[in-house]
Amino acid sequence: MLVCAAGMSTSLLVTKMEKAAEIRGIEVDIFAKSAQEIDYTLEQKNVEVLLLGPQVKYMQSQIESKLVGKNIPVAPINMQDYGMMNGEKVLDQALQLIDNK
């Protein structure tokens, strides 16, 4: 799950991550939500990792406190990878966080 301020700016990054996963033959469910939709989405979907867009990375500790005991890693997306919409690197970041749970 990617989180940004309005849920829109990450949509292109989601597409690029999905393409990178498809090329690698990895089946994934990548989606973007606004910060306001986090609680509802976590109730409705099985989320394995939560990545924060640069504009909401200040919310990391607040989000982590909501996830205590849920074993869902939270991390900000590298600003350069986000700015370049580097789907491969952000996918790698998500997979690394899932592997390290």
Cα separation, 101 vs 81, in Å, equals 22
Choose, from 4, 35, 52, 56, the residue flagged as catalytic.
Answer: 4
- Catalytic annotation on 4? yes
Q: Which domain holds residue 70?
A: 2-99
Residues 43-80 have pLDDT tens digits of 999 999 999 999 999 999 999 998 999 999 999 999 99
* pLDDT confidence of residue 7: 65
What is residue 21's predicted lDDT score, i.e. its pLDDT? 98
How distant is the alpha carbon of residue 32 from its chain centre? 7
CATH number of the CATH domain containing 50: 3.40.50.2300
Per-chain mean pLDDT for the chain: 94
DSSP string for residues in 43-72: HHS--S-EEE-GGGGGGHHHHHHHTTTS--
Q: How confident is the model at residue 9 (pLDDT cuts 50, 70, 90)?
A: confident
Please state the domain count of the chain. 1
